[in-house]
């Protein structure tokens, strides 16, 4: 509780000593109370061992009276302590804040320079030291200066003051996540987690320069890259869309990626208000009116208040901004947490609690004030969707004051539909994971973390439609990059500006620049958290006219190729000959040469009577299996035909002549030697050569990949390009839609798998491979790919890692076929081998 009376958002905790607080010194009734004396950069705190006695704070400006109050027990170090106290006193006497901060920093650096990490604290004498530097351990309102060490096995931090313990040690093998942080508007922070889904980290470090921070990050990241997969916002998005992350878990990961931390009150994790009904006796999660409109920020939910804000905005001089207060700030965070962290509230309120009527008294009152208050736009914090309800209960029996009606401030008043604090949290969790929220959460993410974060300047005609979507929504200084502290030369101006921004709150780092995709809502899906409870999402039955998507997590359609084995293989002499093999007899049935140039792809039409093959000689050949002869030729391109597809009586052909053509084939009469008639239905023009194409299961969209790495998504019905995305740095080898058509996976010569959200065109995942993957099949979660070296690889896409590697060809795997049951695979390679594979159950 020593931080109880600190009055600054940033104060250094220098040292701690045993001392006696002396009352009535020199008098007959002199009394002494033993406790801890904590020397901080701008104050001295005495915390008595007896909890009944008050905590005492003496500001640095009053240190001359310290000897009359305390008797130090410092075992021969009294001279050093007195010297520190006099230095801090001189700093407090300086007129300007910038000069005070500069002198305190000089004192701190001098102390750090005279000390180093105690190597005797290593866990093992065999550890190898990789790096040592000065840093600070960040906790809410207090930073502890000290020394950081990283070895080949552990990360250490040794604080100068020995608090909270002589050495903080983290085993690198236990590290699961590591994030670079923006602390005090500077890229100096580093936060380490040893858990995957917990809210709070194991340590938050702040460095004195970017080089030290980045070097330590590199050392830890290099160690753990073989143990865990580094996740991006896009990879978490894919997991969330597919139902592998709950709404709560996804928001927690986005907060972490956006520099939000429980150790930084000015950048505390932000969660949305979900429930809008705090008066009913029963909470009905099937009614849309139960929920808050997630497409708008808090400040735009009340039209009357919005009208006033718009008027003020239009009359405001530059810089203009919509909201005069933030949705997340230290004051708002501590407003919610006052019952479990009263010391922090006292810190911000100069040693006093806020007025009783302004405290967190009631959920209904707080929600109403967020809707109606002139300056109240706050969102919630993660604790509202956790399992610990202590922040709603005055279990510490704090004297939080008496309200105007005479009622003492005690526990938070809950809505009628909650039987108690635990029940309130349980229902809040259910609301967060409900179908309505799952369908609309992406809209709130757009506002807080996405492309609507900074807004834009609307025209008069769209003023009210997009009133919540201004530039800037908040003061420009609250955004990342809104101010460059290094460009401010006046130290006093810099300190004042930093203090202002830290107290006001900071906007999260922008994670997305285009609209966030919607979630795929399964018909019935259970989402489990790492904590003790699980939440069920239920979707009403889909009507026959509505588009229904498969739940790709169902075991029945999940690809499980771990037990795939090679049955047999055939050898082909050259690339320009079409050969047909019998799987049963394992013999060649047909062999025909169409051209003196290589064949690029082939397929068998429904009925197994006709084979179509494309060639680098610009032609497409039709071969009759029954008559054993070439039946027709389509000369439809001006350069090599790279790939063909057949769907519902239509032929799709891709070519290096920069086009994809759609043909309707009217069959001729084979016996009378009448040729097929080909009608060109559409020509999809590209800027460069097209190397591959594929269609979705509904045959409504086509994906094309070019030799320059561009992925194009086309609406086949209108021949209009929906997205043109520069995904790869080199040729796109293969591309395919997921079974539900929501995602598109591609691979290229740049050794990357890329996942695109088809609705928005957003690149949501990128997995780097050791070598190019030339072709693949996938089910939306798992990939079976053929590599440049000839091996077959099974990938966990969500985890971004190889599950199994299977020896196959001696050259690149150039083509792959799989049956509908996903248990038979045929591959072809540059080694002129065709291999038949079977899944063994």
Question: DSSP readout, 703-770?
Answer: EEEETTSEEEEEETTTTEEEEEEE--SS-EEEEEE-TTSSEEEEEETTSEEEEEETTT--EEEEEE-S
Instruction: Flag whether pLDDT at 227 surpasses 80.
Output: no
Residues forming a β-bridge with 47: 36
Instruction: Flag whether pLDDT at 570 surpasses 80.
Output: no
Q: Of 9-13, 263-267, 365-369, give the range with the top mean pLDDT.
A: 365-369
Instruction: Flag whether pLDDT at 540 surpasses 70.
Output: no
Instruction: Flag whether pLDDT at 560 surpasses 60.
Output: no
User: Given this model, what pLDDT does residue 563 score?
Assistant: 61
Do 775 and 733 contact (CB within 8 A), yes or no?
A: yes
- Mean pLDDT in residue range 413-429: 97
pLDDT, greater one: 389 or 14: 389
Instruction: Flag whether pLDDT at 673 surpasses 70.
Output: no
User: Given this model, what pLDDT does residue 696 score?
Assistant: 95
User: Given this model, what pLDDT does residue 72 score?
Assistant: 61
pLDDT, greater one: 420 or 779: 420
User: Given this model, what pLDDT does residue 548 score?
Assistant: 33
Burial class (CB in 10 A: 0-12, 13-18, 19+), 91: buried
pLDDT, greater one: 84 or 667: 84
Rounded to whole angstroms, the Cα distance separating 358 from 370 reads 13
Rounded to whole angstroms, the Cα distance separating 716 from 118 reads 68
Residue 301 structure tokens:
């939910």
Rounded to whole angstroms, the Cα distance separating 431 from 436 reads 8
User: Given this model, what pLDDT does residue 591 score?
Assistant: 80
Beta strands 11-23 and 142-151, pairing class: parallel
What is the C-alpha radius of gyration for the chain, rounded to an integer number of angstroms? Answer: 33
Rounded to whole angstroms, the Cα distance separating 567 from 51 reads 77
Q: How confident is the model at residue 393 (pLDDT cuts 50, 70, 90)?
A: very high
Rounded to whole angstroms, the Cα distance separating 394 from 6 reads 23
Q: For the chain, give the mean pLDDT.
A: 83
pLDDT, greater one: 113 or 61: 113
At 256 the three-state DSSP class reads helix
Rounded to whole angstroms, the Cα distance separating 303 from 305 reads 5
Q: How confident is the model at residue 557 (pLDDT cuts 50, 70, 90)?
A: very low
Rounded to whole angstroms, the Cα distance separating 150 from 700 reads 55
Q: How confident is the model at residue 476 (pLDDT cuts 50, 70, 90)?
A: low
Residues forming a β-bridge with 546: none
pLDDT, greater one: 547 or 735: 735
- Mean pLDDT in residue range 512-525: 74
Nearest to 800 by CA among 758, 745, 837, 762: 745
pLDDT 10s digits, 769-778: 999 999 999 9
At 87 the three-state DSSP class reads helix
User: Given this model, what pLDDT does residue 555 score?
Assistant: 35
Residue 537 structure tokens:
């999402």
Instruction: Flag whether pLDDT at 680 surpasses 60.
Output: yes
Do 692 and 704 contact (CB within 8 A), yes or no?
A: yes
User: Given this model, what pLDDT does residue 16 score?
Assistant: 82
Rounded to whole angstroms, the Cα distance separating 2 from 56 reads 9
Nearest to 270 by CA among 337, 347, 327, 197: 327
Q: Of 52-61, 78-87, 218-227, 746-755, give the range with the top mean pLDDT.
A: 746-755
pLDDT, greater one: 5 or 381: 381
User: Given this model, what pLDDT does residue 395 score?
Assistant: 93
At 516 the three-state DSSP class reads coil
How does DSSP classify residue 402? B
Got the DSSP string for 780-833? SSEEEEEETTS-EEEEETTTTEEEEEE---SS-EEEEEE-TTS-EEEEEETTSE
User: Given this model, what pLDDT does residue 800 score?
Assistant: 81
Angle CA 136–139–140, to nearest 5: 135
Nearest to 246 by CA among 534, 664, 612, 559: 534
- Mean pLDDT in residue range 366-385: 94
Instruction: Flag whether pLDDT at 205 surpasses 90.
Output: yes
Residue 644 structure tokens:
């063909």
| CB proximity list for 673: less than 8 A, separation 6 or greater | none
Rounded to whole angstroms, the Cα distance separating 62 from 43 reads 9
Do 615 and 594 contact (CB within 8 A), yes or no?
A: yes
User: Given this model, what pLDDT does residue 754 score?
Assistant: 94
Q: How confident is the model at residue 479 (pLDDT cuts 50, 70, 90)?
A: low
How does DSSP classify residue 465? T
- Alpha carbon 218 to its chain centroid, in Å, reads 20
Instruction: Flag whether pLDDT at 715 surpasses 80.
Output: yes
User: Given this model, what pLDDT does residue 184 score?
Assistant: 79
Rounded to whole angstroms, the Cα distance separating 27 from 574 reads 109
User: Given this model, what pLDDT does residue 572 score?
Assistant: 63
Angle CA 184–188–192, to nearest 5: 110
Burial class (CB in 10 A: 0-12, 13-18, 19+), 34: middle
Rounded to whole angstroms, the Cα distance separating 187 from 7 reads 25
- Mean pLDDT in residue range 172-180: 90
Instruction: Flag whether pLDDT at 668 surpasses 90.
Output: no
Residue 500 structure tokens:
């202002």
Instruction: Flag whether pLDDT at 194 surpasses 80.
Output: yes
Q: Of 177-186, 494-503, 546-555, give the range with the top mean pLDDT.
A: 177-186
Residue 511 structure tokens:
């994670």
User: Given this model, what pLDDT does residue 538 score?
Assistant: 35
Do 151 and 127 contact (CB within 8 A), yes or no?
A: yes
Rounded to whole angstroms, the Cα distance separating 767 from 754 reads 7
- Mean pLDDT in residue range 299-321: 87
Is the Cα dihedral 466, 367, 431, 797 positive or negative?
Answer: positive
At 177 the three-state DSSP class reads strand
User: Given this model, what pLDDT does residue 785 score?
Assistant: 95
pLDDT, greater one: 473 or 524: 473
At 435 the three-state DSSP class reads helix
Do 750 and 779 contact (CB within 8 A), yes or no?
A: no
Rounded to whole angstroms, the Cα distance separating 491 from 106 reads 14
pLDDT, greater one: 44 or 68: 44
Instruction: Flag whether pLDDT at 541 surpasses 80.
Output: no
What predicted TM-score, i.e. pTM, was given to this entire model?
Answer: 0.77
Burial class (CB in 10 A: 0-12, 13-18, 19+), 823: middle
Range of weakest confidence among 214-223, 556-565, 713-722, 810-819: 556-565
How does DSSP classify residue 391? G
Instruction: Flag whether pLDDT at 575 surpasses 70.
Output: no
- Mean pLDDT in residue range 180-197: 88
Instruction: Flag whether pLDDT at 445 surpasses 50.
Output: yes
Instruction: Flag whether pLDDT at 649 surpasses 50.
Output: yes
Rounded to whole angstroms, the Cα distance separating 824 from 567 reads 10
- Mean pLDDT in residue range 527-551: 35
CA distances for 825 relative to 358, 394, 786, 818, 840, angstroms: 68, 64, 11, 5, 12
Q: How confident is the model at residue 143 (pLDDT cuts 50, 70, 90)?
A: confident
- Mean pLDDT in residue range 24-49: 80
Range of weakest confidence among 122-131, 289-298, 553-562, 729-738: 553-562
User: Given this model, what pLDDT does residue 694 score?
Assistant: 97
pLDDT, greater one: 235 or 469: 235
Q: What percent of the chain has pLDDT over 70?
A: 83
Instruction: Flag whether pLDDT at 558 surpasses 50.
Output: no
Rounded to whole angstroms, the Cα distance separating 154 from 170 reads 6
**Burial code of 226-246, b = ≥16 C-beta within 10 A, e = fewer?**
eebeebbbbbbbbbbbbbbbb
Instruction: Flag whether pLDDT at 3 surpasses 70.
Output: no
Q: Which residue, chain included where needed, has tokens 């038979």?
A: 824
Range of weakest confidence among 171-175, 274-278, 499-503: 499-503
Range of weakest confidence among 37-51, 350-364, 512-526, 825-839: 512-526
Residue 776 structure tokens:
């693949």
Rounded to whole angstroms, the Cα distance separating 794 from 70 reads 69
Instruction: Flag whether pLDDT at 295 surpasses 90.
Output: yes
């Amino acid at each position: 509780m020593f931080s109880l009376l600190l009055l600054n958002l940033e104060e250094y905790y220098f040292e701690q000593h045993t001392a006696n607080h002396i009352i009535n010194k020199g008098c007959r009734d002199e009394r002494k109370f033993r406790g801890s004396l904590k020397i901080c950069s701008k104050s001295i705190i005495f915390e008595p061992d007896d909890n009944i006695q008050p905590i005492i704070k003496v500001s640095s400006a009053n240190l001359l009276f310290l000897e009359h109050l305390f008797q130090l027990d410092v075992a021969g170090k009294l001279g050093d302590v007195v010297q520190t106290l006099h230095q801090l006193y001189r700093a407090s006497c300086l007129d300007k804040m910038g000069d005070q901060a500069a002198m305190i920093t000089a004192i701190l650096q001098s102390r750090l320079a005279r000390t180093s990490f105690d190597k005797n604290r290593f866990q093992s004498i065999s550890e190898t030291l990789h790096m040592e530097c000065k840093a600070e351990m960040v906790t809410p309102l207090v930073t502890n200066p000290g020394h950081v060490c990283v070895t080949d096995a552990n990360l250490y931090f040794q604080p100068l003051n020995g608090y909270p313990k002589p050495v903080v040690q983290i085993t690198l093998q236990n590290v699961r996540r590591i994030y670079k942080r923006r602390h005090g508007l500077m890229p100096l922070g580093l936060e380490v987690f040893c858990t995957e889904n917990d809210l709070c980290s194991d340590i938050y470090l702040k460095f004195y320069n970017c080089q030290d921070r980045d070097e330590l990050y590199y050392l830890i990241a290099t160690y753990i890259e073989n143990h865990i997969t580094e996740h991006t916002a896009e990879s978490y998005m894919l997991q969330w869309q597919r139902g592998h992350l709950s709404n709560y878990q996804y928001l927690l990961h986005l907060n972490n990626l956006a520099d939000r931390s429980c150790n930084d009150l000015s950048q505390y994790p932000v969660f949305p208000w979900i429930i809008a009904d705090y008066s009913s006796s029963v909470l009905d999660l099937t009614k849309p009116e139960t929920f808050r409109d997630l497409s708008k920020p808090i400040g735009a939910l009340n039209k009357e208040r919005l009208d006033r804000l718009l008027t003020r905005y239009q009359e405001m001089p530059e810089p203009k901004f919509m909201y005069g207060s933030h949705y997340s700030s230290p004051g708002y965070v501590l407003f919610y947490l006052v019952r479990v962290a009263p010391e922090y509230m006292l810190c911000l309120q100069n040693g006093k609690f806020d007025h009783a009527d302004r405290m967190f008294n009631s959920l209904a009152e707080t929600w109403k004030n967020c809707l109606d208050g002139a300056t109240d736009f706050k969102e919630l914090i993660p604790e509202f969707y956790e399992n610990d309800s202590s922040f709603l209960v005055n279990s510490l029996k704090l004297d939080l004051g008496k309200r105007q009606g005479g009622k003492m401030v005690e526990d938070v008043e809950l809505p009628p539909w909650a039987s108690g604090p635990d029940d309130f949290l349980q229902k809040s969790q259910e609301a967060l994971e409900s179908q309505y929220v799952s369908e609309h959460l992406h809209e709130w993410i757009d506002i807080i973390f996405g492309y609507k974060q900074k807004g834009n300047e609307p025209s008069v005609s769209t003023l009210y439609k997009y009133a919540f979507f201004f530039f800037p929504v908040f003061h420009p200084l609250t955004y990342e990059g809104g101010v460059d502290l290094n460009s401010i030369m006046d130290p006093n101006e810099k300190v004042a500006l930093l203090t202002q921004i830290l107290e006001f709150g900071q906007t999260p780092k922008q994670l997305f620049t285009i609209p966030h995709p919607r979630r795929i809502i399964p018909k019935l899906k259970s989402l489990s958290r790492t904590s003790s409870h699980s939440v069920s999402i239920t979707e009403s039955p889909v009507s026959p006219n509505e588009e229904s998507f498969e739940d790709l997590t169902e075991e029945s359609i999940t690809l499980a190729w771990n037990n795939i084995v090679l049955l047999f293989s055939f050898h082909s002499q050259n690339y320009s000959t079409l050969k047909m093999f019998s799987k049963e007899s394992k013999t060649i049935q047909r062999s025909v040469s169409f051209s003196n140039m290589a064949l690029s792809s082939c397929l068998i039409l429904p009925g197994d009577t006709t084979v179509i093959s494309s060639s680098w000689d610009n032609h497409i050949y039709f071969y009759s299996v029954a008559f054993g002869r070439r039946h027709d030729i389509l000369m439809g391109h001006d350069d090599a035909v790279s790939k063909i597809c057949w769907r519902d009586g239509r032929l799709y052909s891709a070519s290096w002549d920069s086009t994809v053509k759609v043909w309707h084939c009217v069959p001729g009469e084979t016996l009378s030697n009448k040729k097929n008639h080909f009608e060109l239905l559409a020509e999809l023009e590209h800027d460069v050569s097209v190397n591959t194409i594929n269609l979705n299961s509904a045959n409504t969209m086509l994906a094309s990949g070019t030799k320059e790495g561009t992925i194009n998504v086309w609406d086949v019905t209108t021949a209009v390009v929906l997205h043109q995305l520069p995904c790869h740095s080199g040729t796109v080898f293969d591309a395919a839609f997921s079974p539900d058509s929501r995602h598109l996976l591609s691979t290229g010569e740049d050794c990357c798998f890329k996942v695109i959200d088809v609705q928005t065109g957003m690149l949501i995942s990128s997995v780097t491979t050791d070598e190019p993957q030339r072709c693949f099949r996938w089910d939306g979660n798992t990939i079976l790919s053929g590599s440049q070296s000839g091996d077959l690889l099974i990938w966990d896409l969500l985890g971004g890692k190889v599950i199994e590697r299977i020896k196959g060809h001696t050259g690149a795997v150039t083509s792959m076929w799989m049956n509908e049951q996903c248990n038979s695979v045929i591959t072809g390679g540059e080694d002129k081998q065709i291999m038949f594979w079977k899944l063994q159950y």
